Amino acid sequence: MTPRRIELLGVPVDCVTMAQSVDFVEERVASGEGCAAVVAVNPEKIMRARVDPSLLESLRRASLLIPDGIGAVWGARLLANAEIGRVPGAELMPAICDRAAETGFSVFLFGAQEEVNAKAAEILPTRFPGLRIAGRRNGYVDADAMLGLIDEINQSGADVLFIALGSPRQEEWIDRYIGSLRVKAVQGVGGTFDVIAGRVQRAPAVFRRLNLEWFYRLLREPKRLWRQRVLLFFALAIIAERLKPKTD
């Protein structure tokens, strides 16, 4: 599957659904091609990439850019009339694990605190019977030990690597080391290990269905208001782009 790639405010995003994203990863594992980078795109990352050339280039080099935030979906539909669905990274990772349990490919967990990483590795096989955790390592790895970690990942025989270092650190890590990885796919998952381990609670289902997860987080943590002002800037930028006169 080769998804349609569009640009929102100069930042790429792929027109995919959750099912297509899982199929993409399974196809890459089966194909034996080089490692595919799966990276989430949301309004905050789009606005950062507009002023961070390094991040923008790393996004352009990714194999699959999932529309993680409802803002990215809304922008794609408004500006490109795109057939696109929201693909939250926190839901894509479990969906990949479910498919891995069914088909037999294995995963490696890298990132987060030791306790969180260990708990996620313990919970996932109980949630998805048959899932093989090829290895795991917390996110506190010194730069001079990184090549050793790469070797550990490769020696584990894992097919998919989940990396939880937060953004943009995880995108930078993927972009830097992907050429040395033998896994077939690597996904940046942000704080998903914390969710799986029960350290962080996602918004209730009703908020997720209404695409108001961001609003729930704001209600729980009002101090996020300053950070989430970027959502307003993103919306205004999308509207301004939509209102630009069309040229032949």
pLDDT tens, residue by residue, 111-140: 999 999 999 999 999 999 999 999 999 999
Tell if the pTM clears 0.95, that is, is over it.
no
Angle ∠(85,173,39) on CA atoms, nearest 5: 5
pLDDT tens, residue by residue, 22-79: 999 999 999 978 899 999 999 999 999 999 999 999 999 999 999 998 899 999 999 9
pLDDT tens, residue by residue, 166-223: 989 999 999 999 999 999 999 999 999 999 999 887 767 777 776 667 666 666 766 6
Q: How far is CA 34 from CA 27, 71, 159, 160, 185, in A?
A: 12, 31, 11, 12, 8
pLDDT tens, residue by residue, 148-160: 999 999 999 999 9
- Mean local confidence (pLDDT), 80-106: 94
Angle ∠(217,19,181) on CA atoms, nearest 5: 85
Task: Give the start-to-end residue ranges of the domains of the chain.
Answer: 4-196
pLDDT of residue 223: 63
